[in-house]
Amino acid sequence: MTVLERLLEAKIVAIFRGDYGGNWLAYAEALRDNGVLVMEITLNSPGALAGIRQLMSTMGDSVLVGAGTVLTPDAVDAAADAGATFIVAPDTDEGVIAATLNRGLVPIPGAYTATEIKRAFNYGAPLVKLFPATAPEYIKAIRAPLNHIPLMATGGVDVSNAADFLRAGASALGVGGSLLSPALRPDQVGQRAADLIDAIQGRQRA
């Protein structure tokens, strides 16, 4: 199974943003053990590259680890050298997408309007991050003319609306602060991960 196939099957991308004090592994294990298997460490987080290296070296193929907030081709190379398997950006930058493809990684550029989404896809992105994901209704509307372009809704996704975003046509969900934060303990993150997985699977925890 390819990286893209694994990501689309997993549905949820947990976004590490902020200062975790190097304690990446405890949070990543809490996510993995509760069903969240894809993780993105944003490069504007302290120690991000070291975090990517740590998770890749210790967790192996049990999870996918990517880099987020990647703004330049040089940053793509740094993330790739650290072991990232996919590259996420808040915007559509042709140079970043090209550098990602050149390193054999999956580019997931950010876009919002129909023009931006189409441009990102035409540059070679197999999955486009719809950012910010303001409402499931917007996903449904934008996919009416662009249903051939897979979208990852990011920004504003939480346990209360995750299933709605998927029903509206999102192929995956990027989930940040509502799931994962340095202000939370790993066990709290694990509980949120379990609740999120249950929500998208249509179950409710007892």
- Tell me which residues are annotated as active site: 40, 129
Pairwise CA distance, residues 72 & 143, whole Å: 28
50 Cβ partners below 8 Å, 6+ apart? 22, 82
Residue whose token pair is 């703004």 = 71
Answer whether 53's CB lies under 8 Å from 26's CB.
no
Amino acid letter, 82: A
**b/e code 40-76 from CB counts within 10 Å (16+ = b):** bbbbebebbbebbbbbbeebeeebbbbbbbbeebebb
